[in-house]
Structure 1
Amino acid sequence: MLLFFILGLLVHFVFFGSIFDIYFTSPLVHGMTPQLTPLPPPAKRLVLFVADGLRADTLYELDENGNTRAPFIRNIIMHEGSWGISHTRVPTESRPGHVALIAGFYEDVSAVAKGWKENPVGFDSLINESRYTWSWGSPDILTMFAKGASGDHVYAYSYDADNEDFGAQDVTKLDTWVFDNMKEFFHAARNNQSLFSKLNEEKIVFFLHLLGIDTNGHAHRPTSREYKDNIKVVDEGMKEIVSMLEDFYGNDGKTAFIFTSDHGMTDWGFHGAGHPSETLTPFVTWGAGIKYPQRVSAQKFDDADIAPLMASLIGVPFPLNSVGILPVDYLNNTDLFKAESMFTNAVQILEQFKVKMTQKKEAILPFFFTPFKLLSESKQLNILRKARSYIKQRKYDEAVSLCKELIQLALKGLSYYHTYDRFFLGINVVLGFVGWTSYASLLIIRSHSSFTRGVSKEVKKPSHLLSCSFIAVGVLVAFFLLIQDCPWTYYIYCLLPVPIWYAVLREFQVIQDFVISLLTFPPSQLAGYLFIFTLGIEVLVLSFFYRYMLTAGLIAFACWPFITQLWIRAKSISLSWIFFSLLLAVFPLMPVVGRKPDIFLVIGAGSLVLLLSLCVLTSLIKRKDRFINEELLLHLFQMLSIALSMYVVYSTHHSLLKKQGLPFLNQIISWIILASSFVLPLLSPTSLFERLFSILLSWMSAYLLLSTGYEALFPLVLSCLMFVWIQMEQETLQQSGVSYRQKVTSLQFTCNLDITQFRHLYLDDIRRAFFLVFFLVTAFFGTGNIASVNSFDLASVYCFLTVFSPYMMGALMMWKILIPFVLVMCAFEAVQLTTQLSSKSHVFILQHFFFLVKDYGSWLEIGTRGILCSFPYVFSLLVTCFLFSFCSISHYVIVMSMTIVLMLLNGLAHLLTTKKLELYGKSKSHLI
């Protein structure tokens, strides 16, 4: 059985990893010829200002007094340049945003699993194509372009990452540092002849990355005075830089300026998804080669289109991997220059299409290869020949239009070849999962049910014909992949279904007997079971899209005692079940995003826990003839942890409001409480009630430190419902006629259960497994929607750290998500104990519920393009599986992750409930 669990875990990891080969593969190709417009460029140098996290509406709108927040930029818009709104693509994060702006393509998604601070893959960029580039700003952004550039012509100046402190008194210093250092650099250049000569060459770029606005937005939200005042700081700094450059270059009129943002920000201070406040960013440009003054909004303008515009302005080759379309409406140049630039743009993108097609064609057998029919080789030549003819005939508008048509076809072709293997791999993954689920189902039926009493529990030896057939299939599949030079991961996805389905067909006799057993049920009863089962699955599926379906499900759960006669047998327990089910049903109706922090709700949740602790402590003292000193001290220490958590949350909140930063003592206390939450439950008695309550107290103290509002009440209400569920299940078991002498209060997690007492599965066990799945989904979506990561409040980790650390912040947020999971799984350990059922049987059933949710909620819709969401710089593959996902793909990723995590949490819950650590060097008790 241990081997089966290990294999199951490996299978789930393999098919979870398949999502990266199917959807998250690199779009980059290499080997293209650089393309350059054969006409003199209008500018010798370009200055790129990127105000990280700046929203378009906040910049362009007037303040409450009717005044502009950025007078210098407003003057540019009115008198000197062109402006508009650029549309950033998801994920709306700093790295992919800057990659799109400077390299012209949309982030290589495979970079997520490899780290986003530097370049895990090589790509071309404007910075690489420039003669020299000088940049100032955040080390996270500058480093990746410096390392991605070939040669020794990129110079990056960045401050210490510790300056990115969300709790700092004044984070505008992140921007003033950039302006001050650039001014010092040019001042020093007047006395450095070598540097002075470089600065006066052509095709040079100055890149200023301004992080203050983004940091203020995270810390105080975009509607805050700090965020809006930071815009004024940036505006004033830009004015000084422009004046300095004009003075340094003697107003030669050869400098082009671009001001934009990598992404916006939601009202609640986050970004990552596709809300308009995140995707609409300002774009202002002026100087050499730019029209003035006008608003350009006739065409859809993406952030990737800025890269070819900048390349055109200073006369460098378009970045090789760029998929941006040159926005010619911004150019102040001859029609010939515009037409030639568009022609260069079209050829540059067509080069990528040709390389991509060649690579795919060489990797596939000729009779299996299906070319992109909309852009054949003859059509390519025809369009290029016609466009060149238009340019010679001075029909520049026609040439530009034809080049745009060619670009659109080439982009479609790139997408076609990039997703060429998607259907093939998807079919194999589905086959593997259906086979694995079928095999696990047959094991449950054969080993833990009464449906196959007439079938021997011994696995019959399969026929040689069956074995030889599957060996032959495996060899053919491997040969097919080998001759096509497929990646090694393809062998796993395509070959794994072969042994899985072999194992399924070995259980043919079990399948036959199970079908015969089902036919013995009355048709109406069987139809009723199927209807209820399907309805439950539908509710689970819909909860992935609509959180309020969890509310509907919990309201239905509240009616359970009336349906099963439990109301008559255990009225007080039934009332508790109804009350806590309805109370928990409120949480999915609460807002996911946009909520304001409410520390008093966190304090209130802690107070309720303390009050409940006092009641429990009093009850334990009365019930026990002799209360052990260690138990009393432990209980009091856990209550102290709750009180300290309340104090730390309150004092940290007020310290940050006063811009005094995170108090060091609070930080130390927070980490100690978090660390102790793993150990303290293991010191408590192993009686069912006391151990579960100890786990709640310890982990609730950590959860309070990670809370900012109403979600602090969620684990408490969830745990109360879990306690009642345990008692309800024992009452249900007794109602069904199964004898069980022990009461819940007398059960011990560490008692040695006789395996012969484990019983066969009943239909009620399927209902118990469904309850667990539903509670796990509720724990997942009850206070937020992880498929929309920008719903997370960065302030939830401020008790632990405020300096930007994506790995640590991501880990803390993940732990906050997992705490309700663990509380549910620990309660389920108690349910299994009270119902005398082997845990492995229930875990099997759980995997099937998750598969059914996945099958409907993901594979039938997978491939439809949704909203890509991510937390900045996703810190590991496990975090990636939660935080980086397409809208429809996210449901597959979430369910796969929950299935994997479920197996791991099952072991963690078993450890937390059964392990006992003794103080004073006493021996450790054994596990069950």
Structure 2
Amino acid sequence: MFVKKLLDIANCQLSNPERKKNKQWLETDNNYLFSLWGLIVHLILLWGVLDVNFHSPIIKELPVVPAPSGSPAKRVLLFVADGLRFQTFIDKSPPYLRDVIKNKGVWGISHTRVPTESRPGHVAIAAGLYEDPSAIFKGWQENPVDFDSVFNQSYATWAWGSPDIIPIFTKGSKRNVHGKSYPSAWQDFDSNLNNQTMRLDSWVFNAYLEWLQSSVAKMLKNQNGIILFFHLLGCDTLGHAKKPHSREYIENMNYVDMRIEEIVNMTENFFGKDTTTYVFTADHGMTDWGSHGSGLPYETETPLIVWGAGIKSGFRQDIEQASIAPLIASLIGIPIPVNNEGALPWQYFDINYQKYIGYSLLNNVKQLAYQVMGNRAINGETSIDWRETQLNSRIRKIEEHIGKGSIIDGIRESEEAISFGKEALSYFRQYQRIRFLIYLSIMWLGWIVILFLKITGTKRRCFRISILQFVNIGFASLLIIILIRYTVSNYNNWRLLCYAAFAIISVWFAIVKIITSTPVFIKRSKKKLFIDIGGTLLLLVILFVGLTYRFALSIGILSLILIRIAKSKNVSPPMIWTSIALCVFPLLPVVEPYPRVYIVIIGIFVAMSMIIINETSQNRKTMEILRIIITSLVYTKFLDGRYYISWIILLTTPLCIWSYPTENKRRMLGIMFGFFCPLTLLSASYEPLFFIILTINLFYWLQVISKRSGNTQQTITKDLIQAAFFMLYILLCFFGTGNMASISSFDPSWTRHFVTIFSPFLMTSLILFKLSIPLILVGCASYSLESEYRKPIYLAVLFLGDCLSLPLMYYVTPYGSWLDIGSAISKFIIALSLPCLFVLLRCLSYLLMELDLKRFRVNLLPQKKYIV
């Protein structure tokens, strides 16, 4: 039926009323298809860019390289102090581990990678691989795919610690990995629970001492290949709550040191001397303000101390975090994990184990060679690459050196081979990256053409159906040919087929849109045209720079005011002054987790003054003042809002907003007053002041728009300049109080008035809600603007955001520093997702702007009728 109506319209065989009716039917149907295709394209691009650059490094069914005999130790005790940063540890070294550093073992810095979170840090330590960013969508708690680790390869592993870490290695693992955890309710970030924080680590140490007295420990007394894993969460919890330079943090570090000394003495007495090796490290560090997740040195530098059987003494050697896995495997004589990327730090071993070191390094090279071979096969290459041939040649040379007794030469050749193997591995993992990016770019350009014609185009009255048929048959045939070629060639890389297919489909839809639509432009004066086009391009450049440098947003706000003055003489002084005030916020230091209560209290008094001055209804005035007073008592901790008060304030926000009149200006103030209280409870500094000034600025902008509402004629250039204004507001909402690092880093103190027990999903949801509140306000302003112009502006916002994300796609790269890589990913995701989020919040704004509680009032008593 759809095809028949399209053919009738194309051949102009219907009467005018029928044609108009069928065109309306087609337009409604096309709107749903347009929205669905837009959603699919955005999801594919978001997934595709991460997939192309950070495809999972894990390859299943790789061969396991058997470990050599003659390992130095029978067992390893692995202590991981979660959130312990290197600088604090060195400056305030605890006594026992300080003595180990000087007299008993090898120590250094373990360099981690972004994201500096608990899950990837522990995976790097145990498996020797760095995960792709897709694991972050599962909160670093579940295995995105099964991976091999030293725990799996060991004869048996016992692990004790947090319920967020231990299940990573016990869930779906072999029967040789055993783990126990304390209740998740113990992970409480309340700063008043200092004495209860040490029980997190105390429980772990006590659990090991109980195991040491069990019959299982006695049975395994002389067994090789045993790993005992201690996950110690106390430092991380106190670092978030009290900061890593606090007295409580250092006390917990000293407590861990004291208990490790006790554990070592008990272990040596039970198993005997020179049979156990001890490894002490951390999964990630921590900033001065108690957060982690980005790439600052305080977050990426962690301590590493190794002592015991087979280890040198008084020696320093810095390594990559992934190198801990082959070190543990080689110490107890188990196979290196099959997906390991680390290089065995052979310098840690005692000189008496040179021959064993030579064979262990040879296994390290072979294990990398198997990964190179597996990655080459995944990329569809059937013939052996020269890199693989050279790596195999190096393996033969190493075997010759060791066979002749030239162990030192074999070690040197092994180091070079490991370095070459990692380069070859990196090459194959990035193989065909350019082709993938080209396919994604073609798909994205096709979508941008469709979106542009959706904004500016109108349906053609007549067009040649033969051209449309030729295009449809041609693209359908091309898809079939690609699918047949893929099937016949037995090519196992389905990713390339999918990206190519979506690129073809996108171009197909774009050409059909060009055939069936034509853009319409309204002639305007050269001055207005220059202001609109020049202003749009200027703001786009500022937005691009603003993703990296916050101060550019201040320049953008000043430019916005100048453009408005050039376009209209109705710009009011309050609007100018509030714009200047908004320029100040990107120049201020980013909001830190340290609560600056006095700044928040200033914002509360300003909001209360606005309510007293602007609110005419006595009932609403009383309600809002009461909410703000309760909010201030909760924020200053006179009331504890975690159990019900804070949640009541949050959940009753929509009801307070809907009690205001639906007139745009009054409802905008109601939205500000309604969201002000939950925003304040989630604030740490000047966020409430920013929200108030942003509201006033948008309020006076809408007043200017209403004065010009008589001229509803819109053009594409006028739409784009308005969309550029909104894009600037969107980025200002996101970066006005923070930057990339402060937004990506997690700190539980932001949610302390709602929840203090560790809950990643709930805490992240509250932080995202806080970030969304200013965006909701901008979405409501967009809705008010559309009601004045009677034409949607959100499509133009989406168009500019998509144009901005196209060049940023090429900045996402797996090369360079990890901080640069993480920042490039964040910029691309923000440019891609913020306009989409704005569109969603703009849909939500309909409920906030139009719903009125007065419409739902019901008279409980029947009306009486009187006869006069």
TM-score, with structure 1 as normaliser: 0.84
Paired position in structure 1 for 2:479: 474
Paired position in structure 2 for 1:554: 557
Paired position in structure 1 for 2:865: none
Matched, 1:204 2:226: yes
Paired position in structure 1 for 2:631: 645
Q: Among residues 337, 350, 354, which one is paired with 1:335 in the alignment? A: 354
Q: How does 1:585-604 map to 2 (within 5 A)?
A: 585-592=583-590, 594=592, 596-604=594-602
The offset of 1:511, in angstroms, is: 8.6
Q: Which amino acid aligns with 1:771?
A: F
Contact 1:442/1:510, CA 8 A, preserved across alignment: no
TM-aligned CA distance change 1:543 to 1:335, over 3 Å = same
Contact 1:432/1:496, CA 8 A, preserved across alignment: yes
Q: Which amino acid aligns with 1:42?
A: P
TM-aligned CA distance change 1:199 to 1:788, over 3 Å = farther
Paired position in structure 2 for 1:861: 811
User: How far apart are the structure 2 equivalents of 1:430 and 1:314?
Assistant: 49
Paired position in structure 1 for 2:178: 155
The offset of 1:485, in angstroms, is: 4.5
State the secondary structure of the residue aligned to 1:34.
Answer: coil
Q: Which amino acid aligns with 2:429?
A: H
Moved more, 231-240 or 687-696: 687-696
Matched, 1:424 2:427: no
User: How far apart are the structure 1 equivalents of 2:677 and 2:149?
Assistant: 48
User: How far apart are the structure 2 equivalents of 1:460 and 1:223?
Assistant: 74
Q: Which amino acid aligns with 1:815?
A: F
State the secondary structure of the residue aligned to 2:194.
Answer: coil
User: How far apart are the structure 1 equivalents of 2:339 and 2:510?
Assistant: 47
Kindly report the root-mean-square deviation, in angstroms, between the aligned alpha carbons of the 2 structures: 2.7
Q: Among residues 707, 713, 716, which one is paired with 2:683 in the alignment? A: 707
The offset of 1:399, in angstroms, is: 1.0
Paired position in structure 1 for 2:320: 302
Q: Among residues 444, 450, 453, which one is paired with 1:442 in the alignment? A: 453
Q: How does 1:323-402 map to 2 (within 5 A)?
A: 323-332=341-350, 333-361=352-380, 372-373=385-386, 375-377=387-389, 379-402=390-413
Paired position in structure 2 for 1:226: 248
Contact 1:52/1:210, CA 8 A, preserved across alignment: yes
The offset of 1:678, in angstroms, is: 2.8
Matched, 1:494 2:510: no
Deviation digits for residues 621-666 of structure 1 (CA, Å, limit 9, x no counterpart) = 5xxxxxxxxxx434432332222111111117xx9xxxxxxx3x55
Q: Which amino acid aligns with 1:600?
A: Y
Percent identity for Structure 1 against Structure 2: 32
Q: Which amino acid aligns with 1:145?
A: F
Contact 2:529/2:717, CA 8 A, preserved across alignment: no
User: How far apart are the structure 1 equivalents of 2:602 and 2:355?
Assistant: 70
State the secondary structure of the residue aligned to 1:651.
Answer: coil
TM-aligned CA distance change 1:389 to 1:719, over 3 Å = same
The offset of 1:461, in angstroms, is: 4.1
Paired position in structure 1 for 2:862: none
Q: How does 1:403-414 map to 2 (within 5 A)?
A: 403-414=414-425
State the secondary structure of the residue aligned to 2:88.
Answer: helix
Paired position in structure 1 for 2:846: 910
Paired position in structure 1 for 2:286: 265
The offset of 1:703, in angstroms, is: 0.4
The offset of 1:509, in angstroms, is: 7.0
The offset of 1:819, in angstroms, is: 0.6
User: How far apart are the structure 2 equivalents of 1:762 and 1:340?
Assistant: 70
Contact 2:277/2:306, CA 8 A, preserved across alignment: yes
State the secondary structure of the residue aligned to 2:719.
Answer: helix
TM-aligned CA distance change 1:53 to 1:231, over 3 Å = same
The offset of 1:901, in angstroms, is: 1.4
Matched, 1:848 2:799: yes
Contact 2:286/2:298, CA 8 A, preserved across alignment: yes
The offset of 1:560, in angstroms, is: 4.0
Deviation digits for residues 169-221 of structure 1 (CA, Å, limit 9, x no counterpart) = 321221122122222332x32xx3x5411243221111111100010000011
Paired position in structure 2 for 1:533: 536
Q: Among residues 686, 705, 708, which one is paired with 2:662 in the alignment? A: 686
Contact 1:90/1:867, CA 8 A, preserved across alignment: no
Q: Which runs of 5+ in 2 are unaligned?
A: 1-27, 860-868
TM-aligned CA distance change 1:432 to 1:161, over 3 Å = same
User: How far apart are the structure 2 equivalents of 1:502 and 1:430?
Assistant: 14
Contact 2:84/2:282, CA 8 A, preserved across alignment: yes
TM-aligned CA distance change 1:348 to 1:491, over 3 Å = closer
TM-score, with structure 2 as normaliser: 0.90
Give the length in aligned residue pairs.
Answer: 823
Deviation digits for residues 425-458 of structure 1 (CA, Å, limit 9, x no counterpart) = 22122111111111221232224xxxxxxx8556
Q: Among residues 171, 174, 180, which one is paired with 2:206 in the alignment? A: 180
Q: How does 1:9-88 map to 2 (within 5 A)?
A: 9-62=39-92, 69-88=93-112
User: How far apart are the structure 2 equivalents of 1:220 and 1:29?
Assistant: 41
TM-aligned CA distance change 1:919 to 1:528, over 3 Å = closer
User: How far apart are the structure 1 equivalents of 2:407 and 2:852?
Assistant: 81
The offset of 1:763, in angstroms, is: 3.4
TM-aligned CA distance change 1:766 to 1:357, over 3 Å = closer
Paired position in structure 2 for 1:820: 774
The offset of 1:137, in angstroms, is: 1.1
Q: Which amino acid aligns with 2:201?
A: D
Paired position in structure 1 for 2:426: 415
TM-aligned CA distance change 1:771 to 1:110, over 3 Å = closer
Moved more, 668-677 or 707-716: 707-716
The offset of 1:679, in angstroms, is: 3.0
The offset of 1:466, in angstroms, is: 2.5
The offset of 1:551, in angstroms, is: 0.6
Contact 1:339/1:391, CA 8 A, preserved across alignment: yes
User: How far apart are the structure 1 equivalents of 2:139 and 2:747?
Assistant: 22
Paired position in structure 2 for 1:136: 160
The offset of 1:148, in angstroms, is: 4.7
Moved more, 111-120 or 46-55: 111-120
Deviation digits for residues 600-625 of structure 1 (CA, Å, limit 9, x no counterpart) = 211221221111011112xx35xxxx
Q: How does 1:787-806 map to 2 (within 5 A)?
A: 789-806=743-760
User: How far apart are the structure 2 equivalents of 1:792 and 1:707?
Assistant: 14
Deviation digits for residues 225-265 of structure 1 (CA, Å, limit 9, x no counterpart) = 11111111111111111111112124x31111111111100
The offset of 1:762, in angstroms, is: 5.8
User: How far apart are the structure 1 equivalents of 2:54 and 2:392?
Assistant: 32
Q: Which amino acid aligns with 1:314?
A: I
User: How far apart are the structure 1 equivalents of 2:106 and 2:480?
Assistant: 63
User: How far apart are the structure 1 equivalents of 2:423 and 2:563?
Assistant: 53
Q: How does 1:696-845 map to 2 (within 5 A)?
A: 696-731=672-707, 733=708, 738-739=710-711, 759-761=713-715, 763-786=717-740, 789-834=743-788, 836-839=789-792, 842-845=793-796
State the secondary structure of the residue aligned to 1:376.
Answer: helix
Q: Among residues 631, 644, 647, which one is paired with 1:671 in the alignment? A: 647
User: How far apart are the structure 2 equivalents of 1:574 and 1:861?
Assistant: 41
Paired position in structure 2 for 1:314: 332
User: How far apart are the structure 2 equivalents of 1:893 and 1:214?
Assistant: 28
User: How far apart are the structure 1 equivalents of 2:229 and 2:687?
Assistant: 42
TM-aligned CA distance change 1:459 to 1:812, over 3 Å = farther
Matched, 1:275 2:296: yes
TM-aligned CA distance change 1:412 to 1:133, over 3 Å = same
The offset of 1:684, in angstroms, is: 2.4
Contact 1:580/1:720, CA 8 A, preserved across alignment: yes
User: How far apart are the structure 2 equivalents of 1:790 and 1:499?
Assistant: 35
TM-aligned CA distance change 1:579 to 1:593, over 3 Å = closer
Matched, 1:584 2:582: yes
Contact 1:645/1:701, CA 8 A, preserved across alignment: yes
Matched, 1:169 2:145: no
Q: Which amino acid aligns with 1:118?
A: E
The offset of 1:273, in angstroms, is: 1.0
The offset of 1:594, in angstroms, is: 4.8
The offset of 1:837, in angstroms, is: 2.9
